[in-house]
């Protein structure tokens, strides 16, 4: 059986192009993740890895859709190989049933990881430049819930627990404490 795997990085991106390509390549079943490829903790990837059986072939558009670093890619392919499942990447023309295919897989994985590191480096450099020019201040904080000040005051007086305050405001612990600290130093009535 030919099993296709598709990954797009965000919910807004459309996987249709990859799906059409995999159907043209004979994919009988397609698993689709809308998540970053920074690690292998993706629900459909994990489901596909459990689903494949001896004799199946996993087909992807490109290595970068399957894994973004060499270690993850090699571990995934090793897991497939242990299950006697082939791996094919259309873009890089890789077939792991041959020694040359395995070698090329390692080379392309290293290049994909290098490309990802370059992207992150350029991003960090761009942010640093924007910060130095006063143009970047990070993501704007979300507005506080209407009941935040009253709930935080009750918490500070010991009338309710922090857990209850977080439940009432709908904030996670790190956000709640950060917002209380900010409010204490910036809001006169607090």
Average pLDDT over residues 111-135: 88
Query: DSSP letter string over 35-83?
Result: S-SSSS--HHHHHHHHH--TT-EEEES-HHHH-SSHHHHHHHHHHHHHT
Average pLDDT over residues 149-171: 92
Task: Tell me, yes or no, whether 154 and 110 share the same domain.
Answer: no
Range of the domain at 92: 2-117
> Which residue among 74, 94, 117 closes a domain?
117
Average pLDDT over residues 98-118: 81
CB 45 within 8 A of CB 5: yes
Active-site choice (9, 62, 89, 189): 9
For residue 186, pLDDT beyond 80: no
Per-residue model confidence (pLDDT) at position 100: 84
CB 159 within 8 A of CB 165: no
Task: Tell me, yes or no, whether 113 and 156 share the same domain.
Answer: no
* pTM of the full structure: 0.58
With vertex at residue 38, the alpha carbon angle to CA 34 and CA 44, rounded to the nearest 5 degrees, is 40
**Catalytic residue list contains 9:** yes
Q: Look up residue 143 and give its DSSP letter.
A: P
Residue 153, domain member (yes or no): yes
Task: Tell me, yes or no, whether 29 and 102 share the same domain.
Answer: yes
**Any idea what the CATH number is for the domain that residue 56 is in?**
3.40.50.1390
Per-residue model confidence (pLDDT) at position 42: 94
Q: pLDDT digits over 31-59, tens only?
A: 999 998 888 899 999 999 999 999 999 99
For residue 190, pLDDT beyond 60: no
> Which residue among 61, 95, 117 closes a domain?
117
Per-residue model confidence (pLDDT) at position 46: 96
Domain count, the chain: 2
């Amino acid at each position: 059986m030919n099993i296709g795997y598709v990954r797009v990085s965000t919910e807004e991106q459309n996987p249709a192009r990859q799906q059409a390509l995999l159907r043209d390549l004979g994919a009988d079943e397609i698993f689709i993740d809308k998540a970053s490829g920074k690690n292998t903790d993706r629900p459909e990837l994990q489901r596909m890895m459990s689903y494949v059986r001896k004799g199946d072939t996993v087909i992807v558009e490109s290595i970068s859709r399957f894994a973004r670093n060499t270690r993850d890619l090699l571990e995934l392919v090793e897991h497939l190989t242990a299950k006697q499942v082939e791996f094919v990447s259309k873009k890089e023309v890789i077939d792991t049933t041959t020694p040359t295919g395995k070698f090329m897989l390692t080379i392309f994985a290293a290049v994909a990881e290098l490309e990802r590191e370059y992207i992150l480096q350029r991003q960090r450099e761009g942010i640093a430049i924007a910060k130095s020019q006063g143009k970047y201040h990070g993501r704007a904080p979300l507005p506080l819930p209407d009941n935040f000040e009253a709930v935080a005051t009750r918490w500070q007086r010991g009338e309710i627990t922090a857990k209850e305050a977080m439940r009432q405001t709908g904030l996670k612990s790190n956000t709640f404490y950060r917002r209380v600290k900010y409010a204490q130093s910036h809001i006169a009535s607090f």
